[in-house]
A and B are shown apart, each in its own frame.
Chain A
Amino acid sequence: MSGGHPATHGLSRKDLDAFARGGGGRDAVLELRSAKRSKLLVTLRTLLDSAPAGAGPLGTFAAAWDLLATAEQADSVSVSEVLALPAVHSWAAQALRYLRGSVPSDAPLWFALGHLNAIAAAAAVSAGLDFRTSIPVFSGLAVLPTVGAAVVPTGERHAVAELVAAHGEVVVRHGGVEATRWLPMRRIRVEHEGRELVVWLDDLSPFRAFGDPQPAEPLSDKAVVDWTSALERAWRLLVSRHPEQAEGLTAGLTALVPGRRRGRFRDSSATSADAFGSVELALPSDAPRLAAVLIHEFSHSKLNGLFDLVALDVENREEIFYAPWRDDPRPLHGVLHGVYSFLAVTDFWQAEGVDDLAHFRFALHRVQTMGAIDTIERSGLLTEVGERFVATMRVHVQGWQHHAVPDRHRRAAEQVALDHRATWRLRHLVPDPDHVAAVVADWTAGRRWRGDLGPAPVVRPAAGLTEPRARTHLIEWALRDPESFKTLTEEAVAAEVPGATAADLCLVLGETGRAQTLYLAQIAADPVGFAGWIGLGLTVGSRCLAEFPELVRAVAAAVDAAPGELVAWFDRE
């Protein structure tokens, strides 16, 4: 504050440039955290001004505020600690949406707003106050953020318990029965070469997983040990080989939220703009992958922090684009997020280039990130600051161009990138019908393909996502564990890799003749399916199926031609 009037948060261009290069040191990250704290306080004040005046089962929002303010007067550090928990930020943002009616909720409003009682009680307990209050119970647990949870088996999804704190003792009662079991909220500390990372392992907070409240899923003691040792290994790697990322993580990463793995071949992790410094994730299988996930997700947090301070893109709710890491079309804002995260992850795999998988991932992310920067630059949807930010990213990624990658990994990466892009086109792009008719007329009349792509196809997002990355998963498997991959058979491939076919296995194994035969059979059985057409294109090295498969398939549907013959006609340009 200056002159008695609060200032507003800001950012130096130097820090903006550092963030754009994937970095941003301790001070810059702390500035983002400080802005997030201010935003939380603005949210709390907004809730205070807008909350119903009448007291619900948990009393009024104002009474909870008073308890929190009293705790702050006694011990401001305790209050700051509780308010720094990302799940508190998630709660505040979601409670305001519930209150304003902009998102539906299955939780009663008194419960959503009454979570401030739990926050205030946690701060007051930590500050050592003697007090009495009501706190919410959710699915059998009364959670005090950062402190822990009392087990309160009410049998109801939403209930109320009484908390009494006196002389350092805390008692939680429901229906006159005292809770006797307490689950601690755990905090993990890891250290390497004098650099420390301290994070909550938040398996309790109702709002830890973004959006609607989720019941707690307390980890076993063994699972906590597993998380701790995994984080120790990843932290050693980060500090010793990626010190700039480690510095940012130390300043900004505050919570890990254990989540469930969604599939054998995909890492599962998430962040939310509401919860700076929180990463929801299933524990990856090794230290490099955990380190990469932390870098990836924390990059999203940093960009979300930046978006609170500066606008990089012009809001546009109509236009959607290809993002190389997504199976669905994305608004430009989402493409920016992807580029930014993969910029840091690509740097990571470049430095980690010690094994087949690292070489492959670097090469893949390099080609995808550079392609997505092209998309962003062509969009015309950047602000002046956004143009500066993306231009700085562009300069940074150009430094990757001369980094040597073994040929087989580069070729594999280029094939996977091409496969994904072509598959996306086939699933989501609809060619102009008049142009399709003109091409059909040329084919029918025995004329040559003119090489005219016609008007730009329309983006029409396909409903119902299937697994479109089976070939990618096969390639990664072959790189990660070539011995077990050798045992994979055509009969077993579909069961081992969802969406994969015998043709895909043959393609990855280099048995192109058999792959071609099998892909043609796939197309005959399912002429509109994407897997057969793109697989055929990869097998024969087709340009048309790489660049405009949606037109090839549309023409194939209208003429009586063998797919191989038609593809050859297009490619003969």
Chain B
Amino acid sequence: MPEPELSLRSELIDLTGMSLTALRTCADPALRRSVDNLLSEADDPWIAALRLQSAQGDSGC
């Protein structure tokens, strides 16, 4: 059987096409999961350092 086109599915909600007005009151569980994932990332200084870490040309990555 051929592989499904989007066979690697993330937990990040696809908000394409959703207006800011709709987003303000959106209560979809998928948004809740995305917020929870985001908060666990934002609350972790180790991950913050990893994300912010400069990846620098010839000096290294």
Given contacts A6-B14, A69-B24, A103-B48, A42 and B58 within 8 Å (CB-CB): no
Residues in B with CB closer than 8 Å to A272 are 51-54
Chain B positions 3-21 with a Cβ under 8 Å from a chain A Cβ: 3, 5-21
* Minimum distance in angstroms from A289 CB to a CB of chain B: 9
Contacts A69-B24, A308-B10 known; A13 to B15 CB distance under 8 Å?
Answer: no
Residues A266 and B58 in contact, CB atoms below 8 Å apart? yes
Bound together, the chains give a CA A42 to CA B41 distance in angstroms of 13
Interface residues of A in 258-287 (CB under 8 A from B): 262, 266-274, 280-281
Q: What 1/0 mask marks residues of chain A from 302 to 346 whose CB sits below 8 Å from any chain B CB?
A: 001000111000000100000101111001011001100110000
Within 8 A of B (CB), among A64-89: 65, 68-69, 72-73, 76, 79
Central interface residue in B10, B39, B50, by most chain A CB within 10 Å: B10
Residue of B nearest to A209 (CB): B54
Closest A-chain residue to B3, C-beta based?
A13
User: In the complex, A12 Cα to B2 Cα: how many Å?
Assistant: 12
Stretch at the interface among A92-100, A442-450, A491-499, A501-509: A92-100
Contact of B57 among A100, A297, A327 (CB under 8 A): A297
Cβ contact within 8 Å between A11 and B8: yes
Inter-subunit contact B55/A38 (CB<8 Å): no
Residues of B within 8 A of A262 (CB): 59
Say whether A109 faces chain B, with CB atoms less than 8 Å apart.
no
Question: Which B residues touch A93, using CB under 8 A?
Answer: 42, 51
> Given the interface contacts A1-B18, A34-B16, A267-B58, does A11 sit within 8 Å of B35 by beta carbon?
no
Interface contact B15-A325, CB-CB below 8 Å = no
Q: Is the CB of B38 within 8 A of A266?
A: no
Choose from B10, B21, B46, B50 the contact partner of A273 (Cβ within 8 Å). Answer: B50
Contact residue among A7, A103, A334 (Cβ-Cβ distance under 8 Å from B14) = A7
- In whole Å, how far is B18's beta carbon from the nearest beta carbon of chain A? 7
| Interface hit among A43-51, A180-188, A242-250, A513-521 | A43-51
> Which residues on the A side are within 8 Å of B43 (C-beta)?
100, 102
**B1 at interface, CB cutoff 8 A:** no
If A9-B12, A13-B3 touch, does A323 touch B60 (CB 8 Å cutoff)? yes
Q: How far is the CA of A293 from the CA of B21 in the complex (A)?
A: 40
Chain A positions 441-474 with a Cβ under 8 Å from a chain B Cβ: none
Contacts A6-B28, A296-B57 given; does A13 touch B16 at CB 8 Å: no
Which residues on A sit within 8 Å (CB–CB) of B7?
10, 12-13
Asked if residues B21 and A69 are in contact (CB atoms below 8 Å), the reply is yes
Contacting residues, chain A, for B35 (C-beta < 8 A): 42, 45-46, 49
Q: Which of B6, B17, B38 neighbours the largest number of chain A CB atoms within 10 Å of its CB?
A: B6
User: With the chains together, A268 CA to B31 CA distance in Å?
Assistant: 38
Minimum distance in angstroms from A41 CB to a CB of chain B: 5
Residues of B within 8 Å of A14, CB to CB, are 5
Interface residues of B (CB under 8 A from A): 3, 5-21, 23-24, 26, 28, 30-31, 34-35, 38-39, 42-46, 48, 50-61
A69-B24, A266-B57 are known contacts; what are 14 more A-B pairs with Cβ within 8 Å?
A11-B6, A11-B8, A35-B10, A38-B14, A42-B38, A79-B20, A268-B59, A269-B57, A272-B51, A310-B10, A325-B61, A337-B61, A338-B61, A341-B55
